[in-house]
Structure 1
Amino acid sequence: MANQNSLCVITLMGFLAAPVFAGVSLTLPENVEVIAINGQLASSQDKLNLNDGLHQLAFRYNAQYRQQANAVRYQSEVVIIRFNQAEQELTLKLPKISSNKDAKQFDTAPQIALFNANNDNISFEWDMLVKNGLQIGRNYEQEILQYNLANKVAAIPVSQQLTNMNTAVVSSTANQSDIAVNSAPALTPTPQAPASTTISSSTIATPEAKVEGPTQAEISHMLDYWYQQADEATKKRFKAKINKQ
């Protein structure tokens, strides 16, 4: 009886320890740059955990190879794939790019494959999200929305993208509100300003400016200068005036 109980406990622990698989997991190559999932911007990651159903993935393929002893960095156009699966472990596989020829081949007709855990091929649709001209500052959400509105090859219903975008906006707004509340400084009483008073110009005492005159040495120097500049008649009148004092 004790052995049976032990066996039951071990079996139960085994069930509890086993991971419960639900939804769709998608493993990505390390050189894949995730742009958006179902039209919503997303960061790059090695594995995506998705709900069962229809999904759209937008990504770039970044590679590096050597061409005539020079290192070449390759970046593909944005690739869009759409698949509809449930309870699957999927793996995305891309061709190896080791030359300019491989890069041009991927730009023209990328060899993309999607496999499940049994290594079976999974059907999907793919397309390129091409934008001519300046690539910096692209609004991928808006571009993908226009893509889906046009109902192109790998499009998903616009309602699905808008639902994801609205959910992200609500979540982002809630997080910002929490941050704002938590980081708000404590309110402190503001001292009231004193009552204003009117001051007339007559009540303001303005000190008289003290004018500094020339020193006695400066005066003596000026007297000597002007005395030398005067003619003999002027010198006589000046001497006579001094003598009368």
Structure 2
Amino acid sequence: MRSIIALLCFSLFSQYAIAASLHLPDRTETVFVNNKASHQQSKVVLDSTLPNGMQQIAFRYQARYRDNGSQNDFISDVIVLRFNASEQDYRLTLPPINSAASAKKFNLKPAITLTDSSGNKIAFTQDKLIKSGLQIGRDFVQEMAQYNASAAIAAVASSTVINPSLNPVSGATIASDHSSQVISPSADVIEVTAEDITQAEVMRMLDYWYQKANNQTQAEFKAKIN
């Protein structure tokens, strides 16, 4: 009897102990994970029961750096990541942001590394979720639904099995904007002025704090804008 109970306990423990997860760098926040809005940091629970274990995560990278004696906040564009996962831990690695130049470089072409629990590089597809106009109060579930209905490179079909051979990446990244324009490593760097960077960061910070506010504060903010 004790052996049966022990076996049942072991089976139950194994069922919950084995899971897929993604560890994120500090100051990284998800906005969407597998068809759901998300505001997780540090660790994301993945769903390995999805077709082919295909995961889709959208996140923003935040950093603070000193430039000319003043502190500056950086919030990246929303990055969409698609990869296959099994029941193990994965780790996302991002470069440090310590200057305006490194912030601009990351936004133009995010350098991302994805590894498994053994330290092996994992293939993934990377894109950006770009929205023009006001960034306050973005509905990421709706935006991602529209994104997935498009032919974007990191899209995941809701009712069909994704072919993992599409857009493979072997220890590298594929970056594009929402129109699925691929940016190759040899692509020319777009010059962005300091004023453009400042306003972009202001817009992202406004969106960040709007998402953190309660319903009353959000309503008051919208009223001021109108």
* Range into which the TM-score falls when normalised by the shorter chain: 0.5 to 0.7
Q: Percent identity?
A: 37
> Offset of 1:49 from its aligned partner?
1.9
**What residue number does 2:157 align with?**
157
Show CA shifts across 1:118-174 (max 9, x none): 1110011010001121100111111111110003111111338xxxxxxxxxxxxxx
Count of residue pairs the alignment pairs up: 150
Separation in 2 of the partners of 1:68 and 1:138?
33
Whichever structure has more helix as a proportion of its residues is: 1
Q: Secondary structure at the match of 1:143?
A: helix
Q: Per the alignment, in what secondary structure is the counterpart of residue 158 of structure 1? A: coil
Match of 1:101 in 2: 101
Please tell me the residue identity of whatever aligns with 1:92.
Answer: L
- Residue correspondence of structure 1 range 42-121 to structure 2 within 5 A: 42-52=38-48, 53-121=53-121
List 4+ stretches of structure 1 deviating above 3 A. none
CA distance in 1: counterparts of 2:39 and 2:137, whole angstroms: 16
Structure 1 residue matching 2:104: 3-state secondary structure: helix
Q: Which has the larger radius of gyration?
A: 1
**Runs of at least 5 residues in structure 2 that lack an aligned partner in the other structure:** 161-226
Give the letter for the 1:42 counterpart. Answer: S
- Whether the 8 Å CA contact 2:27–2:41 is kept in 1: the answer is no
Q: Deviations over 1:5-57 (max 9, x none)?
A: xxxx9xx89x95xx734231111112111101023101223212222111100
TM-score (norm 2): 0.61
Q: Equivalent residue for 1:29? A: 25
The equivalent of 2:147 in structure 1 is 147
Answer yes or no: is the 8 Å Cα contact 1:32–1:61 preserved in 2. yes
Q: Distance in 1 between matches of 2:33 and 2:120?
A: 23
Per-residue deviation at 1:105? 0.7
CA RMSD of aligned residues (A): 2.5
Q: Please state how far the C-alpha of 1:85 moved relative to its aligned partner.
A: 1.6
Task: Extract unaligned runs of 5+ from structure 1.
Answer: 1-8, 161-245
